[in-house]
Structure 1
């Protein structure tokens, strides 16, 4: 870990009592798609502005559907115009064209930082935080924070990516993880000192806790809803096998899959082969209505950071069956049904229990909602970030 940088280029204002005045924050993420990390950065940006903090949201590549959520918020959005996000943008096998585009984006990033002079620069996800660290150092930004949102399995066996990340982490003042499992994974992979990382759980807004009208879904069967991109690591293939077992046990259900991805044709063929009722709805912006329609919400992931889909189900009191991976046990311990990953039999048993014992399902849903109201509010998430930023500006370390 390197020492703290010379920050004289960016004065740190203080009030009459001598306390740091946090006035300018810059956040950075790849784009504004419908993913969980994008939802959290949008929520944080709005929360900072609501508290009188000038906030800029830098996008490495392009905008996206979540931009509408920032309309009229006062958050300034700036795109750096990089178009190489089909793979991690620092990949030692990238073409010269990719590298040139990345360098242009890095140049625009540094120009922006030098012009706007934020006190805190907080970058989300690998391709952003490995660029943010050197840019912040060269632009002499007082505090650079890196956000860890998932387990680092994509880096395993890729020594180039690990080396780049470790160099960037050495230039970074602090790391924020969204789950204890994510923090422990970063400590193991990156060799971080424990006083350089803290956990701030994801947040949810008031509207996430409000009841909404259930989606109109034509079926007489119990409804099981899964919200996750259709990628192999999300474990949908095991979920379909589990639903096939439920059918064999005389407990058929309608499985609603919200999300899209390369596994879609494989899952459709698997559903046809198993003879189960699966509705592949693709990306949706009315997820809450389908969660409200669900008898059970399920997440069969093989790996996970901190699932926004699980949190949203908890917020409206839906019973959840999920695999015990990543940060999911932190959310569902004694408040949901946890099963091993890649185990369709255990997944089927968990779903069967929730679909059969409605009283137990209702109790778990109630406990999940009460815990979420206490621990997962957007206000709590925003205030914890502000406290962290101020502590770092004072030159301290968060515990």
Structure 2
């Protein structure tokens, strides 16, 4: 589908957009790279305001965007840099709460269409939770349109005062060049993490409280008695690592923390089961990669997950280690059920948006907000 003509009508200059990223999770950064690539291909001018390391990793300039290095802080220098970058923009699109807050400060008093994508939901208690709610309200009210990656986030934006909140089509973030080696055999990926002759269970995510890794360690006791004992490999880094590592050693659990990995896609594809214990996930990349790779998934039935996977995963109550452990043991013993989940997974992935559909939807929102009203 080509939109180029709509961005240069009657000799006007092309639509100028600024994409604003904060720290940017891997999902939102890859989404911005994919979006920038698709928009540039359709004749839109794209500037990406993001920290320097984000461009080194995601190569926004490589897909035809202009990169303006803006640190992730909300200090006056950072906001001033954003204000300068947005000075001649027809539309500004911020990704994530903190990036959106900075962009709203930079746009203060300027009538520029302002789109915000909420990719995930932040968690905080007490005073920090209060601050977070204030931030959400500020951003929701400042945005012309809020795009939420799940219906849960759309509802949240509306409850925070968004004038216009819509569900966003977001494709599985494309892997970066050099991320995985397609020629490396499955057995080699398994051997590298020590799962040659035993079932491999894969979990991926930041090692913090909301990701449910402690539930997984509790659940691991359920499969300690199997022969051979399955190995749970957890890819990711975070503040909880020392606590988890100590438990693994003290309780002699069949679990390995492998830190950040560039071959996560390969490890998921090489696994017997993928495990997702999080309390909340917006379009979980692990869930999407597992279903695409035809790997059965056991997941906590937390907000965002049932909507994404439908009946193509074994869903258990969030935080219920016993149910999680039983589901893993049951699936490992039941090849028929695993095959059924894989078949349902193939059907489910066919319903997910493609990169092209994602770009087209965003572009239709841009058109709606920037096209001059027809003269009556």
- Fold match, TM over 0.5? yes
1:110 Cα shift? 0.8
1:55-94 equivalence runs, <5 A:
55-59=46-50, 61-64=51-54, 67-70=57-60, 72-82=62-72, 84=73, 89=74
**Unpaired segments of 5 or more residues in structure 2?**
1-5
Instruction: Judge conservation of contact 2:331–2:338 (CA < 8 Å) in 1.
Output: yes
The residue number in structure 2 matching 1:98 is none
CA shift digits 1:232-289 (9 cap, x unpaired): 1101011011111121466731111111111111111222233222221111111111
1:144 to 2:114 alignment: yes
Instruction: Judge conservation of contact 1:319–1:364 (CA < 8 Å) in 2.
Output: yes
For the residue of structure 1 that corresponds to 2:53, the secondary structure is coil
Instruction: Give the alignment partner of residue 15 of structure 2, picking from 23, 44, 48.
Output: 23
1:385 to 2:362 alignment: yes
1:328 to 2:305 alignment: yes
Tell me: CA distance 1:255–1:164, structure 2 relative to 1, closer, same or farther (3 Å): closer
Instruction: Give the alignment partner of residue 104 of structure 1, picking from 44, 67, 77.
Output: 77
CA distance in 2, matches of 1:350, 1:22: 53
1:120 to 2:91 alignment: yes
CA distance in 1, matches of 2:44, 2:371: 17
The residue number in structure 1 matching 2:3 is none
1:344 Cα shift? 0.3
For the residue of structure 2 that corresponds to 1:154, the secondary structure is coil
1:281-360 equivalence runs, <5 A:
281-360=258-337
Instruction: Give the alignment partner of residue 239 of structure 2, picking from 253, 259, 262.
Output: 262
Instruction: Give the alignment partner of residue 133 of structure 1, picking from 94, 104, 129.
Output: 104
Instruction: Give the alignment partner of residue 180 of structure 1, picking from 151, 158, 173.
Output: 151
1:122 Cα shift? 0.7
TM-score by length of 1: 0.81
The residue number in structure 1 matching 2:347 is 370
The residue number in structure 1 matching 2:161 is 191
Tell me: CA distance 1:382–1:353, structure 2 relative to 1, closer, same or farther (3 Å): farther
1:72 Cα shift? 2.6
Tell me: CA distance 1:257–1:390, structure 2 relative to 1, closer, same or farther (3 Å): same
CA distance in 1, matches of 2:152, 2:140: 18
1:347 Cα shift? 0.7
Instruction: Judge conservation of contact 1:37–1:149 (CA < 8 Å) in 2.
Output: yes
1:304 Cα shift? 2.2
CA distance in 1, matches of 2:56, 2:318: 31
For the residue of structure 2 that corresponds to 1:64, the secondary structure is helix
For the residue of structure 1 that corresponds to 2:117, the secondary structure is strand
TM-score by length of 2: 0.86
1:211 Cα shift? 7.0
Tell me: CA distance 1:242–1:395, structure 2 relative to 1, closer, same or farther (3 Å): farther
CA distance in 2, matches of 1:257, 1:130: 33
Instruction: Judge conservation of contact 1:148–1:182 (CA < 8 Å) in 2.
Output: yes
The residue number in structure 2 matching 1:200 is 168
1:43 to 2:11 alignment: no
For the residue of structure 1 that corresponds to 2:89, the secondary structure is coil
For the residue of structure 1 that corresponds to 2:261, the secondary structure is coil
The residue number in structure 1 matching 2:216 is 239
* Cα RMSD, aligned residues only: 2.8
Tell me: CA distance 1:167–1:137, structure 2 relative to 1, closer, same or farther (3 Å): same
1:129 Cα shift? 0.6
1:39 Cα shift? 1.8
Instruction: Judge conservation of contact 2:216–2:277 (CA < 8 Å) in 1.
Output: yes
Instruction: Judge conservation of contact 2:143–2:162 (CA < 8 Å) in 1.
Output: no
1:369 Cα shift? 2.9
CA distance in 2, matches of 1:166, 1:205: 28
**Unpaired segments of 5 or more residues in structure 1?**
1-11, 90-101
Tell me: CA distance 1:369–1:120, structure 2 relative to 1, closer, same or farther (3 Å): farther
Count of matched residue positions in the alignment of Structure 1 and Structure 2: 358
CA distance in 2, matches of 1:121, 1:206: 23
For the residue of structure 1 that corresponds to 2:107, the secondary structure is helix
